[in-house]
Structure 1
């Protein structure tokens, strides 16, 4: 069976992938099926940490660490259950759900992940203290990427 597709329609779908940040689009019409996928940039977990001199860090600033491969292996790491965009507060001007050093209870909301226009609460799997926050508000996250470290 020979399939033919309109090259302009394919270009428009490819542009939609880039604009929306989607990794793939799959279309099905009758017995015809088309799947377009693009290479996804490595997640922040693969990025090299940046060294900042201690004097450059303001003591009142919230501590947000860069995710690293080692943090994913930490026994207290809370990992993303999905691909989406992370938010540390319920609204843009609201206080964050959690801060470094804060004591939390099991089941407490740590952050939100927006996936497919739905905000999903990521809850603490156990009680403890927030040691590190590995993401920033508005940051895209991948499945199984470490988000927070609880001790």
Structure 2
């Protein structure tokens, strides 16, 4: 294949709005993909200014309680968070739009608390008008959905946390 033939192929792809082409002969293999995923930038609001510190008078240290009396520990305002170190993150393999269900009126593929098997479809990511099913890499329980339906996702972004236990 020479440069003129390659230009003609690329022009035909553009004229007919073909997104991807793979051409294979005994002599060569040519794969062409048009366009690149659009990156959406979302500006974060500026952080709120910190309040100015108020001067505190210097005073003598408070007396320490006797060692024999145990100090009561006040109950925490928030319950302890579960240990997520052993959870498996299912990450987006491509850039696109996350869909939790096969169609708008269908139930989601999975919900938090559902038991999933390795290879089970968890969601769909739409990229360049192609629907890509994302499958579970492990068997386990879906502990957390990290993305909402219809949100754009980036390559490598965590979508789900699965407890393989």
Please report the TM-score for the alignment, with normalisation by the length of structure 1: 0.54
Q: Indicate whether 1:127 and 2:128 are aligned.
A: no
- On the 8 A contact 1:74/1:149 being kept in 2, the answer is no
Q: Indicate whether 1:76 and 2:88 are aligned.
A: yes
Q: Indicate whether 1:22 and 2:23 are aligned.
A: no
How far apart, CA to CA, are the structure 1 residues paired with 2:95 and 2:86?
20
Partner of 2:137, secondary structure, is: coil
Q: Deviations over 1:15-51 (max 9, x none)?
A: xxxxxx823xxxxxxxxxxxxxxx73379xxxxxxxx
Q: Indicate whether 1:41 and 2:42 are aligned.
A: yes
Q: Deviations over 1:97-123 (max 9, x none)?
A: 001110000000000000000000000
How far apart, CA to CA, are the structure 1 residues paired with 2:86 and 2:127?
25
| Cross-structure match for 1:110 | 122
RMSD, aligned CA: 2.6
| Cross-structure match for 2:26 | none
How far apart, CA to CA, are the structure 2 residues paired with 1:124 and 1:141?
17
Q: Indicate whether 1:150 and 2:151 are aligned.
A: no
Normalized per residue, the structure richer in helix is 1
- On the 8 A contact 1:87/1:137 being kept in 2, the answer is yes
CA distance change for structure 1 residues 101 and 81 in 2, over 3 Å: closer, same or farther?
same
Number of equivalent positions: 89
Rg larger for: 2
How far apart, CA to CA, are the structure 1 residues paired with 2:100 and 2:87?
22
How far apart, CA to CA, are the structure 1 residues paired with 2:155 and 2:125?
11
Please report the TM-score for the alignment, with normalisation by the length of structure 2: 0.49
Partner of 1:90, secondary structure, is: coil
